[in-house]
Structure 1
Amino acid sequence: MNEVRILAPVGMLGAGFPAATVARGIELGADVIAVDGGSTDSGPYYLGSGTAKTAAAAVAADLRLLLRAAAEARIPLIVGSCGTSGTDSGVDWVAGIVREIRAAEGLNLRVATVYSEQQPAVLRQQIGRIRPLPPAGELDPPVLDSCTHIVGMMGHEPIVAALEAGADVVLAGRATDTAIAAAYPMMKGLPAGPIWHAAKIVECGGQCTTNPRAGGVLATIDHDGFTIEPLDPDNACTPTSVAAHMLYETVNPFTMREPAGTIVVSDATYRALDHRRVRVEGSRFEPAEQHTIKLEGARITGYETMSFTAIRDPHILGQIDTWAALMRKMIGEWVGRTLGLGDGDYEFDLRLYGHNAILDEIEPDRGPPREVGVMLLVHAADQRTATAVAKVANPLLLHLPTPDMDYLPSLAFATSPAETERGPVYEFALHHVVEVDSPTSLFRVTLPEAEDA
């Protein structure tokens, strides 16, 4: 093929997009629809628990539009990082939604699933080929067994394998955001430089436009570069808005590592073709000597209970740091006296929203706050202990005065009961890559036969 047109409808499946923008992309000759289904942006919980951040109804609404469009245009639909974190359960969850839509809409589509979850026993055999990414240290093998879920981040190759096997729809586990868009044009033999740069720019849908809320974009890749335009006729791409996306989630705005190599855009040029389309040329891709797959794993660190109260008392707010220091001291004393717990048995965090909760000591506005929300987060090895500590702190969160007050103030709990059990708390335990001889060896592709609805 001399060129490939990639339709990127939205930055994340389930976020929603105007139906008219997808219709316009099809009219403009889209060859493939590519959409990301997940991220680690929201922390380790979704990987650790194997659950999705997005609502099933929202994902179904987006998929219904995309599956219809793909079927009518007879072009592939690729979804990566299904179920937020790309676990096997996440892939199956999205596949179940697709199955229901396919039956309800009468769509005869071959759906492939690509699984990316990794087993600790298999990875232990690869210890000598697993190396840390900064700032992580060398992998301690027991860490693998401590993880509730581990995924490998695939490049384009497993997705291409599914497409070459005849899939109309590919539902992939954890994948690089760029691999989702790069797979189809890589399969068609276009140059890697323009492909990977274009894939990076379209990964978040309309974020590379002047109005990211107006829908996604269409990237047309050829042998010399790519052209990008918004799907909304009233939206625009500019050289600045397109070039700026290389600043997003990258260590270096001129390079970005993929499993197979590195995108290099230091010589790229960005030229406005008109008031809404941008032409990019000069990108290149440098293949790596060793193909690597990034490993992501999450594990439970304990259990958490949260309380939240609000302060409007101007006297307390005038010396809020003194009040917070007293609160921390009193919680430790009361918990020790009442529950017999020491510092090693639990930990807590007191966050003052409205006063340095975001910027802490670098907050430029040093004036007293007008109102403050106080969040208490208690972390312990079990839920019962975490909740018990929060309950001991309850009277303090309701009535603690400053040292110079001769009366008990009344603060305002946001909920009743004041304590909310948040359940298990997770942390990322793996920030490593594993060297592989084959880019598809860690992944499993299934391609069931199409079903007539």
Structure 2
Amino acid sequence: MPTRVLVPSGVLGLGFDREALARGVAARPDIICIDGGSTDSGPFSLGAGQSKYSRAATKSEWRALMLARAEAGVPLVIGTAGTCGTDSTVDWMYDITAELARELGQELRVARLYSSQPAARVAEAAAADRVTPLPPSPELRLEDLTNIVALAGAEQIQAALETGADIVIAGRTTDTATIAALPLSRGDAAGGAWHGAKIGECGALCSTNPTSGVILVDFDQTGFTVEPLATGARCTPHSVSAHMLYENSDPFRLFEPGGYLDVTGATYTALDDRRVRVEGSVWVPGRYTVKLEGARIAGYQTTILAILRDAHYAANAQAWVDRLTGFLHREIETRMGLARADYMLEFRLIGVDAALGALENRTGSPVEVGVLGIITARTQAEASEIGKLINPFVLHYPLTDDEDLPTFAFPYSPATTDRGALYEFALNHVMVLDDPMSAFRIEVSEIRTEVPA
């Protein structure tokens, strides 16, 4: 019998087709797997240990999945809970689960897989030459990291499932681990398990209707078959094979804990107008390593936003910013005594180069230009003070000395906003483990519905 994995969406919080989910449950899956996050949105979630998704959206979608799990009678697994997979976001997800269990009257065994790493453990491994940098990699400096996580693989998910858990809430995992775990433990082809997990990691992104979310992946001893469940959605050899390029620098190899997937010899066959069959993928075992991710505070930020609508200023926005920036640096040094090395002041022109900055190679004639000033300093108080100092000049500074003082628009008052801590990624390394569980821990909780006396 094949191992059938139901994937409701590429990530919890992004939404999915509820009718397609019902079809998936009716297809009698062996497990329901969904991802909870990634590093796609930058280092803030990891640095702060917070989910980027709203609690309300998470609870709404998780409610539907908990009901689907109960109807199907199979385990429900989420990886990288709470966007970043720190211990704090695993517990955040557990609190939502316990709250829903009480509301739904469900009695559950919940396994929490924790992925956070104490700095001392990583330092000890580094001293033993068991931590290796990946390019590009920052200097290994552990003393000021706010959070460190290790990416769990299939073995850690398998250990959580072996507790008999109805629900597994995992910390940081590889995107594929939750999907590959059960097929691997059942003896399905290792190459097919990892390849199918890679194709299914983002739900229906491997189909012609990527926003529909829900797919089924059937694994067996020679490969896997993938099928989208939304009405009108189709998987094609092109849409499936193309997903090996998604977030992967090598279209033929994918590294995971304990080895790598090689799809050089894989074949993609359309079984009909919806399903694709894949065979020929190979798993190449290797040393057991887990990737490390870490974040640290890189400063504190304040932003300011003004809008240039005068045609003369909109057409000469870059020249205005260049002149303003030099003036402001002199004012900050004179009035606050800060050297350039003590802070950063950057202006991005929305409608001109806000996304790419100096790399922008397209030009246009916008009606208005938004001027976003970004101040980064050693403390929030310092960044806020710089923001207040530059405020009147960002809103009234002239393009030349012989022009009338201009007036610009600003969309909100005050024009400055304190953003708080700015985080940066500070680890891109792998750590060798002799035992896959040595850097992870599992806690199992029984959630019981109280019966009125």
TM-score range for the pair, normalised by the shorter chain length = over 0.9
Give the superposition deviation at 1:207: 0.8
4+ residue runs over 4 A deviation: none
For residue 395 of structure 1, what is the aligned residue in structure 2? Answer: 392
Unaligned runs of 5+ in 2: none
Q: Show CA shifts across 1:363-407 (max 9, x none).
A: 443344332111111011111110111111111211122127621
Structural mapping, 1:86-125, within 5 Å: 86-125=85-124
Cα distance, 1:410–1:92 mapped onto 2, change above 3 Å: same
* Number of residue pairs matched by the alignment: 448
2:132 alignment partner in structure 1? 131
Question: Which of 135, 142, 145 matches 2:143?
Answer: 145
1:55 aligned to 2:50?
Answer: no
Which secondary structure state, in structure 1, belongs to the residue aligned with residue 431 of structure 2? strand
Q: CA deviation at 1:38?
A: 1.2
Per-residue deviation, 1:138: 5.4
Match of 2:415, SS state, is coil
The residue number in structure 2 matching 1:372 is 369
* 1:432 is aligned to 2:429: yes
Partner residue in 1 for 2:223: 225
Q: Which residue number corresponds to residue 272 of structure 1?
A: 270
Residue of structure 1 in register with 2:235 after alignment: 237
Q: Which amino acid aligns with 2:340?
A: D
Task: Report the residue type matching 1:384 in the other structure.
Answer: A
Task: Give, in whole Å, the separation in 1 of the partners of 2:138 and 2:53.
Answer: 32
TM-score (norm 2): 0.96
Which residue of 1 is the match for residue 42 of structure 2?
43
Alignment of structure 1 residues 38-437 onto 2, 5 Å: 38-127=37-126, 128-136=129-137, 139=140, 143-288=141-286, 290-403=287-400, 406-437=403-434
Q: 1:425, 1:11 → 2: CA distance?
A: 27
- For 2:260, the aligned partner's letter is T
Paired residues of 2:138 and 2:427 also in contact (CA < 8 A)? no
State the Cα distance separating 1:234 from its structure 2 match. 1.7
Where does structure 1 lack aligned partners over 5 or more consecutive residues?
none
When normalised by structure 1's length, the TM-score is 0.96
In the alignment, the residues of structure 2 paired with residue 376 and residue 306 of structure 1 have an alpha-carbon distance, to the nearest angstrom, of 5
For residues 251-283 of structure 1, the C-alpha deviation after alignment (integer angstroms, 9 at most, x for no partner) is: 101111001111111111111111111111111
Seen in structure 2, the aligned counterparts of structure 1 residues 234 and 442 have a Cα distance that, compared at 3 Å, is: same
Please say if residues 268 and 283 of structure 1, whose CA atoms lie closer than 8 Å, have aligned partners that are also in contact. yes
Give how far 1:218 is off. Answer: 0.7
Q: Percent identity?
A: 47
Displacement of 1:123 in angstroms is: 1.9
| One-letter amino acid of the counterpart of residue 383, structure 1 | Q
Deviation per residue, 1:79-98 (Å, 9 max, x gap): 01111111101000000100
The two structures, once aligned, show a CA RMSD in angstroms of 1.4
Once the two structures are TM-superposed, the CA of residue 428 in structure 1 deviates from its matched residue by 0.9
One-letter amino acid matched to 2:411: A
- SS, match of residue 22 in structure 1: helix
Question: Letter of the aligned partner of 1:198 in structure 2?
Answer: G
CA offsets per residue over residues 146-186 of structure 1, 9 Å max, x none?
Answer: 11111111101111011112111100000001001111111
Measure the CA separation in 2 of the matches of 1:371 and 1:404: 23
Letter in 2 for 1:439: P
**Equivalent pair of 1:316/1:401 in contact (CA under 8 Å):** no
Q: What's the offset of the Cα at 1:105? A: 0.7
Per-residue deviation at 1:315?
Answer: 0.6
User: Residue type matched to 2:92 in 1?
Assistant: W
Deviations 1:98-133 (A, max 9, x none): 001111111122110000111112222111211111
Say whether the 8 Å CA contact 1:47–1:149 is kept in structure 2: yes
Q: CA deviation at 1:322?
A: 1.1
Distance 1:137 1:350 in 2: 26
